[in-house]
Structure 1
Amino acid sequence: MLDALSPTILAPLLAALCVSGAALGLPVPTMPALIYAGSVAVGRADAAALLAATFAAAVAGGFAGDAVWYLAGRRYGFRVLRVLCRLSLSRDTCVRRTETFFARRGVRILLVARFLPGLAVVSVPMTGLSRVPFRRFAAHDLAGVSLWVGGGLALGALLAGQVDALLAWLQNAGVGLGGVVLLVLAVFIAQRVWRRQRLLRALRASRISVDELHALMEAEAPPLLIDVRSAPNREQDPWRIPGASTPEPDVLELALADLPRDRTVVLYCACPNEISAAQMAQRMRALGFSDVRPLLGGLDAWRASGRDLLPLDALDDTPDDAPAVPLVVAPPPGSRVEA
């Protein structure tokens, strides 16, 4: 079916579908579609019109998809990020990184988000849940989508000869354009699935359950418990497990400098598959800690078990002689991330 369409119709259609699909969180190879669309226009009498139509269609599709997630983030908050992690093949690995980028750069992150793998679709709902005005979101998002689409089309125009040679070789081998699209999509998805499964296999081997953590907390030498959620996440849910501290990632080495490296450490977050806790566990192992374990299900699992929670700014009865990690309290509920 794809082979029967003329380039004038196919190029804008393919670019718009891929850009909008990626904006909605689907695992589609956007850049190859833009490169193909840019290469198709080279040498044609209507090259300018074709490029303009492709650019407009792709930008409109990308912005439409982003607007959906912006409005969802504004209404549903961090629950949207959990949905994205289920839709996408690797989105859960970049939620923490996006929160950190957004806390530092605000809505300006949308200008470059698409150039950093996995960042765009999470940063968009982050602008919504941070209450960035729609007009501001639209201006930055349109600029970011335009840069991404324009860069892909320009790259396709520069590589037009190589793209044509590749398509000709595939056609001689009996593979049409439809087959090429399906092949690229299959390789793209397979690579993402493989990376995700490798990370999850390593994570399953080290997790601790809520019941196991509770038993350790009742023991004579309780573990060091660390809340690794980001500041925006803690702002949305300002509660913690009793005894937990919240050192910021940027000062983690300083906060943990005086603690014994053989002490048991339990990390928890509020993200699918405990990815943030797993990544922090890797970082702490690199600092010399030998027993670091993410909490299975994170804060949500602890809450679902019916066990006690404390407000982030509440003090608990930690023994005076217990080593402590400096407690960094999240902003009060209702405060806004600087945009």
Structure 2
Amino acid sequence: MANLIPLLQQYGVLIVFAVVLVEQIGLPIPAYPVLIVAGALAKDGDLAWPGVLAVSLIACVISDQFWFHAGRYFGKRILKLLCRISLSPDYCVSQTEDNFKRWGPKALMVSKFIPGFNTIASPLAGAMGTAKATFLGFSMAGGLLWSGTGIVIGAYFHTSVAQVLGILSTMGTTALIVLGVLLGLFVTFKYVERKRFRQATQMDRITIDELKSLLDDGHEPVLVDARSATAQSLEPAVPGALLFKGGEPIPELAALDKDSHIIVYCSCPNDVSAAQVAKELLAHGFHRARPLHGGLEAWNAAFAPAPAASAVEATEVVSQ
């Protein structure tokens, strides 16, 4: 902390560019405080704010373009990878998909302000086939808004920023310990939150081998697609599967025998969406409802789709 101002004064925009680029790529580097400090220095005449804004915007656009094209090329796989390495992997895909579906490319203007959403907004835009020019426009607008806000905050509170950094510099090692403790508390909170969420969706899964045994024994399990509407548009549902839309499904599931084998699948980490839907079905009396371990990926690996003249269309389950 004590060296932050001298570093910015000496290397200026290079430090801002490097930190913002690394943070936007996905590493847990706090770029926004650096922008705020740079804004304070710009107010005091130690840095040129147009240069700070320009390099921050360029770093944002480079990162966004990288993830956008990764999403276009790898599709759903890159989203699952990013969610697996995030601090909230169990539900970041579905939440971001729903937000992006609701707002469209305009979501890119505010995505950088929302933890988790920023992680996969750009690759999701690529996976959904957003036009390159449209993406670039909203990406630049979002980067400009995010960078400019940090610089303006630093300029407005430049006196307070200098005072805080001065106090931290006098604290020396103590300041680093305090920051380390705060970071540790944050990570612990996210871990506990994740653990509680997993416990809430803890239940027996059915494996692909068990599902094959059911089919070999002559059973006809009902498949339910628990993915978000966006995920369903990115990757087709299993032929014949019911598309779950949340709430109490009717009329197809309501007309089924309560002893029916119901297999719920999704494409999210740890099968959490499938487990949530399976628990809802259990609450409605379907005591043989189970989530599929491995989800749609496991199904596709085990039952490679064969060419057919006509495929059974997925039936949409409408919620009340």
Q: Which category of TM-score, normalised to the shorter sequence, fits these structures?
A: 0.7 to 0.9
Give the one of 99, 108, 111 matched to 1:110.
108
CA contact (8 A) 1:270 1:300 kept: yes
Task: Give CA-to-partner distance per residue, 1:18-60, whole Å, 9 cap, x none.
Answer: 4323332223334333334334444x1345x1x3332222211
The reply to whether residue 314 of structure 1 matches residue 316 of structure 2 is no
Report the secondary structure of 1:225's partner residue. Answer: strand
The structure-2 alpha-carbon separation of the partners of 1:72 and 1:289, relative to structure 1 and needing over 3 Å to count, comes to farther
Q: Distance in 1 between matches of 2:131 and 2:286?
A: 46
Q: Distance in 1 between matches of 2:96 and 2:200?
A: 23
1:14-53 to structure 2, matched below 5 A, reads 15-42=16-43, 44-46=44-46, 49=48, 51-53=49-51
Mapping 1:138-157, distance limit 5 Å: 138-157=136-155
For the residue of structure 2 that corresponds to 1:229, the secondary structure is: coil
Deviations 1:252-299 (A, max 9, x none): 4353794799777542112332243345457x3797668664321101
| CA 1:259–1:148: 2 relative to 1, 3 Å | farther
Q: Bigger shift: 92-101 or 55-64?
A: 92-101
Matched, 1:268 2:265: yes
Q: 1:112 to 1:261 in 2, by over 3 A?
A: farther
Q: Distance in 2 between matches of 1:177 and 1:247?
A: 51
Any conservation in 2 of the 1:29–1:188 contact (CA below 8 Å)?
no
- 1:93 lines up with 2:65 in the alignment: no
For the 8 Å contact 2:207–2:293, the answer to whether it is kept is yes
Alpha-carbon deviation of 1:7?
3.1
Q: Match for residue 305 of structure 1?
A: 302
Instruction: Determine which of 233, 239, 248 is the counterpart of 1:253.
Output: 248
1:233-253 CA distances to partner (integer Å, 9 max, x unpaired)?
A: 33443241x65311334xx43
Q: Is the 8 A contact 2:68 2:126 kept in 1?
A: yes
Residue 149 of structure 1 and its aligned partner are, at CA, apart by: 1.7
The 10-residue stretch of structure 1 (224-233 or 208-217) with the greater mean CA deviation from structure 2: 208-217
State the Cα distance separating 1:93 from its structure 2 match.
Answer: 2.0
Moved more, 139-148 or 163-172: 163-172
Residue equivalent to 1:332 = none
In the alignment, the residues of structure 1 paired with residue 189 and residue 158 of structure 2 have an alpha-carbon distance, to the nearest angstrom, of 26
Whole-angstrom distance in 1 between the partners of 2:264 and 2:54: 46
Contact 1:34 1:153 in 2 (8 A): yes
Q: Indicate the residue corresponding to 1:55 in structure 2.
A: 53
CA contact (8 A) 1:25 1:87 kept: no
- Name the CA distance, whole Å, in 2 between partners of 1:35 and 1:259: 59
User: Are the aligned partners of 2:203 and 2:275 in contact in 1 as well (CA < 8 Å)?
Assistant: no
> Is 1:122 equivalent to 2:120 in the alignment?
yes
Q: CA RMSD, aligned part only?
A: 4.0
- Give distance in 2, aligned partners of 1:34 and 1:315: 54
Amino acid at match of 2:250: A
Q: C-alpha separation between the residues in 2 aligned to 1:32 and 1:206?
A: 45
Q: Residue type matched to 1:144 in 2? A: G
Secondary structure of 1:146 counterpart: helix
Q: Distance in 1 between matches of 2:203 and 2:115?
A: 27
What's the counterpart of residue 9 of structure 2? 8
Q: In structure 2, what is the equivalent of residue 333 of structure 1?
A: none
Q: 1:327 pairs with 310, 315, 319, which one? A: 315
CA distance in 2, matches of 1:310, 1:227: 21
Q: Which segment drifts farther, 113-122 or 137-146?
A: 113-122
Q: Distance in 2 between matches of 1:171 and 1:261?
A: 69
Identity percentage of aligned residues? 33
The total of aligned residue pairs comes to 312
Comparing 65-74 with 120-129, which one deviates more in the overlay?
120-129
